[in-house]
Amino acid sequence: MKIIDRLNEDRIHISFEVFPPKKDEDYGKVVHAVDEIATLDPAFISVTYGAGGGTSKNTAKIASHIKDDLHLLSLAHLTCASSTKEEVRHVIKKLKEMGIENILALRGDIPEGLTFPDADRFRYAYELVEEIRKHGDFCIGAACYPEGHVENEHKADDIRYLKQKVDSGVDFLTTQMFFDNDIHYNFLYRIREAGITVPVLPGIMPITSASQMKKSQELSGTVFPRRFLAILDRFGSSPAAMKQAGIVYATDQIIDLLANGVKNIHIYSMNRPDVAAAIVKNLSEIIKA
C-alpha cells in the first residue's frame, strides 16, 4: 500500500520516524525500539538514511522488517549528496526488489571534505525525485522547511524550489521540526497560494532534555518560542521533569494541529518508544473524536 492512499483517508493518522543504528552491534536494540513503536498502531514508520552513507545499509533492512514482519507501512529515506548516481540507482533497485513502495527523497547533508556538486552526483532533491520516478511506481515523499531552508536567503526562493520539487513527482511532504504552530500555519498558507496542493505532514520533535534541544537547534536552526525556553530554563536541570514537560509540549502542539483540521502528524521518535507511547496515550480519546 502507498502512503499517499493512507494519508487521503478521512481520519487522523499518527506516524513515527526511527533511525538505524550507528554501530552494527546496536541493530538489535533499534529493532526492539521499532517493535515497541509498532504496538502504537502507527499509520506508517519511516527509517532515516545515515549521514555520509554510514548507516544506510540498514535502512532497507529495517524498512523491510516493518513491512514484512510487523505488517505496517514503511517509508525508506534515500539521500543523494553522499552517494554517486550509480549507488543511488542501486539502492532504488534494492528497495524495489524488497517490495518497498514508499521512499522519502532527500538531498541530505554534504559530507565533510566532499567536493559537491560534481557530475557524478545528484545536486538537488528534485533530481533524485525524477530518478526514482524512472525506476518504478513508488510513492515519493519529500522534505519541506516551514522556517525556510538554511541555504536559501529568501523564503520566496524556498517556496519556488519546493514547487519545482513537488512538480517533479512528489506525493506528499513532511516538515522539518518546528515548535511554534503559527509558523506551520503561515507556511501552509504560503505554499497553497503558490499552488502546492499535496498533503503536508507536520514533523513534531518531543524535546526531552536540554542537550537534545541544543543538538536540534544546531542541526536545523529552528526557532524556539519563549514559552518553550521558559520550560527549558525551569526544568532543564531535572531529567525526569524535562522529559515530562517535553512530552506535554509535543502533545499540546499536536492537539492544536488536530483542532485546526490537520489530520496527519509525523513524530520524530528518536528511537524512544517510551516517549512515543506517552504521547499516544495523551491523545487516546482525542484521536477518536
pLDDT tens, N- to C-terminus, the chain (289 residues): 999 999 999 999 999 999 999 888 999 999 999 999 999 999 999 999 965 444 578 999 999 999 999 999 999 999 998 889 999 999 999 999 999 999 999 998 777 766 667 888 899 999 999 999 999 899 999 999 999 765 555 567 889 999 999 999 999 999 999 999 999 999 999 999 999 999 999 999 999 998 888 777 666 678 889 999 999 999 999 999 999 999 999 999 999 999 999 999 999 999 999 999 999 999 999 998 8
Residues designated as active site: 17
CB 1 within 8 A of CB 29: no
Q: Which residues of 132-151 are buried (b: 16+ CB within 10 A; e: fewer)?
A: beeeeebbbbbbbbbbbbee
- Looking at the DSSP bridge assignments, the partners of residue 172 are 141
Give domain limits for the chain. Answer: 3-288
Q: Nine-digit cell at 15?
A: 506516524
CATH topology of domain 3-288: TIM Barrel (3.20.20)
CB burial of residue 261 (10 Å; 0-12, 13-18, 19+): exposed
What confidence score (pLDDT) does residue 55 get?
55
pTM for the whole structure: 0.94
